[in-house]
Amino acid sequence: MPIHLRAASQQDLRALHALDRACFPAGIAYSRAEMEYFLSHPRTIGLIAEDEEGHLAGFILAESAPRHRMAHIITIDIHADSRRRGVGRVLMETVESRLKAASAEAIRLEVAVDNDAAQRFYASLGYEVRGRIRGYYLGKLDALVMEKALDLAAPETEQEK
């Protein structure tokens, strides 16, 4: 699926909030105020994927954390019509590249214990389960903490081989 990536901005708030509510149940989806905070925070990297017609296919919000070297995926939301078409993979790989450029050494995310599809997706990208947070969602549903180390080594040049 051909997609175009661009930076998220405050002007996208309404559309991103609507997609987040469509992707996650009430109480798990972020509030409008939380989304506004993420979009305005200087350490947030927000990317939007649009299809060929300019429709929102998905988005990702991540937080770079240079002091701790551990970045965080806040959320990744893919429109139902765009799922299983590579949109999530492109968003994840692009944000990982940007976080790496911002000196992140690893990335952390949380995923519901009952979301097998998302767990498989993150595992396919190299994320590993590192822990569990009891009652993370609505005080009832546990979350798995998954992490991925980023390879910060510079690639070999032809002369170094």
pLDDT above 70: residue 160: no
**CATH at 78:** 3.40.630.30
- If you average pLDDT over every residue of the chain, what do you get? 91
Cβ atoms of 110 and 81 within 8 Å: the answer is no
- What pLDDT sits at residue 66? 66
Q: What is the mean pLDDT of residues 131-146?
A: 94
Give domain status of residue 114, yes or no.
yes
* Domain boundaries, position 29: 4-151
Give domain status of residue 158, yes or no.
no
Q: What is the mean pLDDT of residues 33-58?
A: 95
The tally of domains found in the chain comes to 1
Percent of the chain with pLDDT strictly greater than 90: 80
Give domain status of residue 156, yes or no.
no
Q: How far is CA 106 from each of CA 64, 86, 99, 121, 155, rounded to the nearest angstrom?
A: 10, 23, 9, 17, 18
Q: How far apart are CA 10 and CA 32, in angstroms?
A: 11
Percent of the chain with pLDDT strictly greater than 70: 91
Residue 157, judged by CB atoms within 10 A of its CB (0-12, 13-18, 19+), counts as exposed
Contacts for 119 with CB less than 8 Å, ≥ 6 apart = 111, 129, 144, 146
Give domain status of residue 161, yes or no.
no
- What pLDDT sits at residue 158? 45
Give domain status of residue 111, yes or no.
yes
For the record, the structure tokens of 32 come out as 């409008």
Give domain status of residue 160, yes or no.
no
What is this structure's pTM? Answer: 0.90
The three state secondary structure string of 29-77 is CCCHHHHHHHHHCCCEEEEEEECCCCCEEEEEEEECCCCCCEEEEEEEE
Give domain status of residue 77, yes or no.
yes
- What pLDDT sits at residue 81? 92
List the one residue out of 96, 39, 35 whose CA is nearest residue 64: 96
Give domain status of residue 157, yes or no.
no
